[in-house]
Amino acid sequence: EDQVTQSPEALRLQEGESSSLNCSYTVSGLRGLFWYRQDPGKGPEFLFTLYSAGEEKEKERLKATLTKKESFLHITAPKPEDSATYLCAVRYTGANNLFFGTGTRLTVIP
């Protein structure tokens, strides 16, 4: 069964302490991998799309990378305002919808 697994479930970082979030997928025919940020009580906010292994995208303190079976969201020198749930979603060939992981809840402590 195709699935998307994110780890860790929760992560607490000190401000400035860099780390990475993982998204593993077991789908065939990857059409795209998407990262979103979700704040409490809000809808997901689009961050990045990655289409092929080796691709990288950056936005401020965030950098997303993709291999054939997983993606990493690297957070460099995080700030408290980076605290949120980060969701990974995958679309595979033939599917119209996204398959979401359960997310990583990131807390950055001042």
Partner 1 sequence: GAVVSQHPSWVICKSGTSVKIECRSLDFQATTMFWYRQFPKQSLMLMATSNEGSKATYEQGVEKDKFLINHASLTLSTLTVTSAHPEDSSFYICSARTGGLNQPQHFGDGTRLSIL
Q: Which residues in this chain contact partner 1 in the complex, by CB under 8 A?
A: 31-32, 34, 36, 41-46, 49, 51, 87, 91, 95-98, 100-103, 105
Least Å distance, CB 61 to partner 1, is 20
Q: Which is nearer to partner 1, 65 or 85 (CB)?
A: 85
CA 14-87-17 angle, to 5 degrees, is 15
Do the bridges between strand 104-109 and strand 10-14 make them parallel or antiparallel, or are there none, so unpaired?
parallel
Least Å distance, CB 50 to partner 1, is 11
Length of the chain: 110
